[in-house]
Each structure stands twice: as structure tokens, then as C-alpha cells.
Amino acid sequence: MATRSFMDEALAEARAAAARGEVPVGAVIVRDGTILAAAGNRTLELKDPTAHAELLAIRQAAAAIGSERLTGCDLWVTLEPCAMCAAAISFARIRRLYYGAADLKTGAVEHGPRFYAQPTCHHAPEVYSGIAEREAGAMLKRFFEARRG
């Protein structure tokens, strides 16, 4: 599967999240060119503030491979991860993080606390930002504009 296809899968998960009334964020975890897990936000549906797309995908991938360490795995997500998700990505030892839209308000990778740049961070993935940024950002913008009325 081509690189862009993995972000396309994450975008499909984000669209499905929006259709459920969730903030449209989607994530996929890939190892050796195969998608191990795919998820979209489900915080409202599950009544769980930790049910972000990244955490749900990490849980699925860990179950799929039978390990809490996702070494050799890459995470594709439509929005810059928050501090909670950035920490989980680090703890899971994800190799590479690819994300779409920057999150100036609650992002924690290249904005806000810049989690991976902190001396207390034990593992920092390689980070690649701006993949399908316009599409991911436009989806979020439309979602929040519709909510505001």
C-alpha cells in the first residue's frame, strides 16, 4: 500500500467519526506495510475521555501483536496528537508518527509542550507532519463550524 494510502485510511476513519458526531480524527497503525489497527475518535460514544483515535488504535495494535510495545510500527493520524496521545505513542515505542493537521491549541508534538523534546521523554518517534494537512484541517473546520451553528 502506498504511503498516501495510509493517510487515506486515517482520513476515512476521521470521516466515520464525524458521521457518529465525534470530532473527526482518525488513526491507523502500520507494520511492514500492513495496517494492524484503525480507529476514529469515540469519546462521546464510549463516554470515555481517553477514547481518542490514537489510543484506540494503539490498544487494537497491541492486542493484534500480543505486546504492549509497538516497535517497528508507524502511526498515521489526521491531527497532531495531544499530550495524552503523545505520551502513549512514546510508551508504545512507535517508530514513526505521521500526522496531518497541526493543532495549535492542544497539540503536543510540534506545538504546546512539545512532548518528544522534553528530557523526561524516554522514546521519541520520528515525526513527519503536514501529510494531507489541507484535507484533514478542512474536515475539522467544517465539523466545528457546523457545531457552532
Catalytic annotation present for 135: no
Q: Which of 9, 13, 22, 54 is catalytic?
A: 54
CA gap 10, 76 in Å, rounded: 7
Backbone dihedral region for residue 47 (phi beyond 0: left; psi -120 to 50: alpha; all else: beta): left
Exposed, middle or buried: residue 11 (CB in 10 Å: 0-12, 13-18, 19+)? buried
Residues in the chain: 149
Q: Is 82 annotated as a binding residue?
A: yes
Residue 6, all three cell numbers: 495510509
CA gap 113, 74 in Å, rounded: 22
CB 44 within 8 A of CB 22: yes
Q: Is 85 annotated as a binding residue?
A: yes
Q: Which residues are annotated as a binding site for Zn(2+)?
A: 52, 82, 85
Q: Which residues are annotated as a binding site?
A: 52, 82, 85
Active-site residue set = 54
